Amino acid sequence: MSIKVAGGRSEEGVVIGNTFDKYGSNNPLVKWMMAGFDGALSDFVSEAAPQTIHEVGCGEGYWAMTWAQRGTQVKGTDFSSDVIEMARGNAKARGLDPKMFEVRSIYDVDSIADSADLVVCCEVMEHVDDPDRALQALQKIVRKDLIISVPREPLWRLLNMARGKYLSDFGNTPGHINHWSTRGIQRLASRYFDVVSVKTPLPWTMVHCRPQKSHK
């Protein structure tokens, strides 16, 4: 499923969306990596078996639309009004309700309106200026399951440098202000959730969590 993407644009000084349509790429290496990401995420979503999904930091809406087309009740939010307009356009082009996408910062999620059985937060924690506050906000809306994914560092930057990208920034992708090792993102998540399992599709770390008993 090819989608319109932000292409590295920024809003309020923050890079928004995807720099290119990695989901629609014909590059064999990109296709292989995205297949690994898709498989890991799909496994976790199947394990959660949610009736409702809220994708926080949904970008241009690829995954939210994928789940909606499978019949799941889905909401997607992102802080960027520009990227939400793109997501709504992508949804409309596929015959989906564009109102499924709303402008909302991760810090401003509502404990009632934004809660869902499964909350998905992919490729967000490397961008936020206060990861602890972000996880505390997610505690308010996760009913059963949470999935987080982040680029796996330092592998991510090494791969960027190997392909000649962002050399002046030592391979750091624009907009990445946090750099998570697999152990580091598990440590962060475990402060606020119980970590159920971890997958490492190259070059990401993906963590499946559930609410800690004291926060249920």
* pLDDT above 80 (res 1): no
Buried b (16+ CB within 10 A) or exposed e, 9-42: eeeeeebbbbbebebeeeeeeeeebbebbeebbe
Percent of the chain with pLDDT over 70: 88
Helix (H, G, I), strand (E, B) or coil at 129: coil
Q: Which of 212, 198, 204, 203 is nearest to 43 (CA)?
A: 198
Give the residue with greater pLDDT, 73 vs 11. Answer: 73
Instruction: Let me know: does 85 contact 20? Beta carbons within 8 Å.
Output: no
Rg (CA), the chain: 16
Structural domains in the chain, CATH included, are 10-215 (3.40.50.150)
Give 106-160 pLDDT, tens digit per residue: 999 999 999 999 999 999 999 999 999 999 999 999 999 999 999 999 999 999 8
Give 7's pLDDT tier (boundaries 50, 70, 90): very low
The CA-to-CA distance between both ends of the chain, in Å, stands at 37
Q: How many residues belong to the chain?
A: 216
Give 65-112 pLDDT, tens digit per residue: 999 999 999 999 999 999 999 999 999 999 999 999 999 999 999 999
What is the number of other CB atoms lying within 10 angstroms of the CB of residue 74? 27
